[in-house]
Amino acid sequence: MTKTLVIAEKPSVAQDIVRALTPVAGKFDKHEDHFENDRYVVTSAVGHLVEIQAPEEFDVKRGKWSFAHLPVIPPYFDLKPVDKTKSRLNAVVKQAKRKDVTELVNACDAGREGELIFRLIEQYAGGAKGLGKPVKRLWLQSMTPQAIRDGFAHLRTEQQMAGLAHAARSRSEADWLVGINGTRAMTAFNSRDGGFFLTTVGRVQTPTLSLVVEREEKIRKFVSRDYWEIHAIFGAQAGEYPAKWFDPQWKKSDDAEARADRLWSQADAQAIANAVRGKQATVTEESKPTTQASPLLFDLTSLQREANGKFGFSAKTTLALAQSLYERHKALTYPRTDSRALPEDYLPVAKQTFEMLAGSNMRHLAPHAATALAGNYVRPSKRIFDNSKVSDHFAIIPTLQAPSGLSEAEQKLYDLVVRRFMAVFFPSAEYTVTTRISKVDQHHFKTEGKVLVKPGWLAIYGKEAADEVQDAKDGDKGQNLVPVQPGEKVNTLAADPKGLKTKPPARYSEATLLGAMESAGKQIDDDELREAMQEKGLGTPATRAAIIEGLLTEKYMLREGREIIPTAKAFQLMTLLRGLEVEELCRADLTGEWEYKLAQMEKGQLSREAFMQQIAAMTERMVKKAKEYDRDTIPGDYATLQAPCPNCGGVVRENYRRYACVGKAGGEGCGFSFGKSPAGRTFETAEAEQLLRDKRIGPLEGFRSKAGWPFTSEIVIKYDDEARNYKLEFDFGDDGKGEETGELVEFTDASLGACPICGSEVHEHGSNYVCSKAVPTAAQPTPSCTFKSGKVILQQPVEREQMTRLLQEGKTGLLEKFISNRTRRAFKAFLVWDKEAGKVNFEFEQRESKYPPRKTAAFAAKTGAAGAGRTSAAAKKTSKPAAAKKAATKTTTPRKPAAGKAPSAALAAVIGTDPVARPEAVKKLWVYIKEHNLQDPKDKRTIVADDKLRAVFGKDSAGMFELAGILGNHLG
């Protein structure tokens, strides 16, 4: 008997499909990786099991970070398994290749990514010949059993899904081409003068970042202006009312900050206030009814924006909650949608949903559902039911299944969706809006009153929402107005100017950034207009949360409260892309066009070949711009630091790569500079300022070694006798130096608590917390205690509050960001004082188990040199001190210097004949250049060759950034 293989995206969905099919297709037997009965085999992926890669002949393994092999544009893509899920892929492929399986059903999530997940698995399973088995598509909007059975009754054909499949592959390949080539090209550009500075870019993530950077630039450049408003109080027979002066002749101009009620002169404002105070005013007013319809139903982006604004949920959190409510609880329809309408035949389902809500035990929602049913509110409406506004998925609404066992966050999100669903069917809220003009001589004052007559849909949200809508601003809007009789004169009881300042645009929150991504940066507040623009947005509703999280992970952006702030690394990337004139990665609206073309491809209106040709052309242009850029620096808006040069007292200015001394007024720089991104971490301007001022900063996180390992360190600026200048160095906190030199330590911070060894005070010192008797002080020059614990242990910062807690209670709170030196994996632990070992150790969370605990050795942390990442508190077994000692020795052994190479005769005439590594050769060459004053006075980056250097350079001059490459040819 032949069978149909059903491939779901996740195991939980496979189980739901089995439960739904059992009543109509018979009982399933459960196997290790699949379910099976007489008609179906049901298995699942776990997200992406296969990813694309360049074919072997086009793959660049060595030298991929240079321009030599760029751009990489393979004529086709190979597939490779995702390492973590190889066993799952093999299990799915095994079922697909079965001879009795004659048909496949794609039951992955109903969207572009779900289509791609299945297509890549099918391609991988078929190999070069292909599986040759027909494919049908299960398209689910809801995960209820009946919706699943209905989906199987209406499976879509492969031809129907061809457009979506093309768009899915094109999106994946376009992101690979732009991401791989862009990242390698920008990294090669940033690393061409030495070091390695990974610079990631992406087809969607970088234009999104440009939105955030552009907003921050506007904020930084904003110059606040003083303006004045005139607020008055008028007295009528029935009482008092507020009003604000305005100019009835005012018209919009080029001044974006001008308003009808703003005056730019305090004298003018004071003069008007003095002129009207105490005088009578004539009153005219107009009252008219107005209505306010409820907002549209939610799509994913509007749901994420609302949840961020109301609850502070990140876009990622909201998506995870909505996905859980869809998959696990079956309480919401498919959440990854960009539609805010329902199909026109969905009216009966909407009525059934109201009946479910009215009969549920959700007391805060049931009465409103009952009101809607009694009032026959659930009626056809183009605003709600419109096939032309439904794409692959309709709006997010509750299903017919009342949920139970929701977490607090899930309940909040479910309530949000249910209230919006009910509100859209309720009548509009009705108001009476009154505009009152009080005229004193030739001066006009406006008062607006807004009175809620019928709450309509606002009743669902209660008093809180009604108050929000009626909220009075500046005392002249939203309030109930005391009546004024026809022809009545009112008295100006008070009139005073109010000084205010214009404000810069607000920083993006996740809610407003999602909105900007949806409209490709265009400021659109109207729901209907935004809906019309969304096909040209950045990314899709399903991917926007991941894009934002990716930018946060790469440290291009930071979250501060609800604000999103770009880092120095982000500004540096935007400066580079603008300087290279790579517009496609800088402008959100241009990338929005690519997304629009993918949407056209889904509908069969654009060929895959045409789109990929455009992406390839964009990739080639981007690489060419970076490769052929021949100027020394990138033009940009750079900072001037306030702290002086430590070497000559001159001015230190930022350029693209460095902070460099440019000398005193009218003078020349002394050659002092330090890189903006040592070990791949970019200084914020304030950090560079602090480093220059204090000659020390840190410990700072986010550095990466040449091997790619993250580390934490302090940074210091020290005088180098050989170079006769100051230079930047990492300081890994090996601060036993005070003991060696006898230098006395003076503590300036408050005590954190009593030392657990001797009872003396514990203070901060360098990158450690130390006992006051563990270092030489004026009170006790010879240390007598050994207590010392790192401020950063295995990349986990240990805050003062946690150390205080350890000293007082013997134990910190649970710390969650330790990174194992061996496995590079994160782990959680408490830090505890181990009295027997006489040091700070790890203690791990106790997990409940029905089995007796296994005997395991306790892990300990010798934290004497723990503050620095390189020697960060290596975890070791206290039961095996020899092993612990060996591990500690291993982590602190310095790396051997690179082997030296013999210099050529020409180079030996400059730096000597001893074998030397290239970095040391460059260093010696600079000593020679400085001693012989060979830098061009007009351009310090150019070295003017004397006779000896002309033999090395092979020309009369060379740029400073060429030196390392030139020396490579002279070291054999």
Catalytic residue numbers read 334
Nearest to 424 by CA among 489, 486, 354: 354
Q: Are 155 and 17 in contact (CB under 8 A)?
A: no
Nearest to 568 by CA among 645, 660, 636: 636
Q: Count CB atoms within 10 A of the CB of residue 648.
A: 18
CA–CA separation, 186 and 64 (whole Å): 12
Q: Under 8 Å CB-to-CB from 562, ≥6 apart: which residues?
A: 308, 312, 509, 510
Number of helices (H) and strands (E), helices first, in the chain? 28, 37
Q: Under 8 Å CB-to-CB from 753, ≥6 apart: which residues?
A: 761, 762, 803, 804, 807, 808
SS3 106: strand
Q: Are 915 and 970 in contact (CB under 8 A)?
A: no
Strand partners, 135: 104
SS3 45: coil
- Angle subtended by helix axes 315-327 and 300-311, to nearest 10: 120
Q: Count CB atoms within 10 A of the CB of residue 246.
A: 19
Q: Are 863 and 873 in contact (CB under 8 A)?
A: yes
DSSP 535: G
SS3 746: coil
Q: What is the chain's length? A: 972
Q: Are 196 and 680 in contact (CB under 8 A)?
A: yes
DSSP 576: H
CA–CA separation, 841 and 846 (whole Å): 16
Long-range contacts, stretch 773-777, CB < 8 angstroms, 24+ apart? 775/738, 775/739, 775/745, 776/738, 776/739, 776/742, 776/743, 776/744, 776/745, 777/744, 777/745, 777/746, 777/747
∠ CA(46), CA(51), CA(54), 5° rounding? Answer: 170
CA–CA separation, 600 and 448 (whole Å): 47
Alpha helices, H only, 728-880: 737-741, 800-809
Q: Are 914 and 901 in contact (CB under 8 A)?
A: no
For the chain, report the end-to-end CA distance as a whole number of angstroms: 72
- Angle subtended by helix axes 205-221 and 588-602, to nearest 10: 150
Nearest to 356 by CA among 364, 344, 365, 347: 365
Q: Are 761 and 769 in contact (CB under 8 A)?
A: no
User: In Å, how far from its chain's centre is CA 859?
Assistant: 34
SS3 144: coil
Strand order in the sheet with 939-944: 935-936, 939-944, 957-959
Residue 333 phi, psi dihedral angles, 5° rounding: -75, 175
CA–CA separation, 89 and 521 (whole Å): 40
Q: Which two tokens stand for residue 296?
A: 């549209």
Q: Which two tokens stand for residue 444?
A: 């006009």
CA-to-CA separations, 756 to 28, 752, 831, 842, in angstroms, rounded: 63, 12, 14, 16
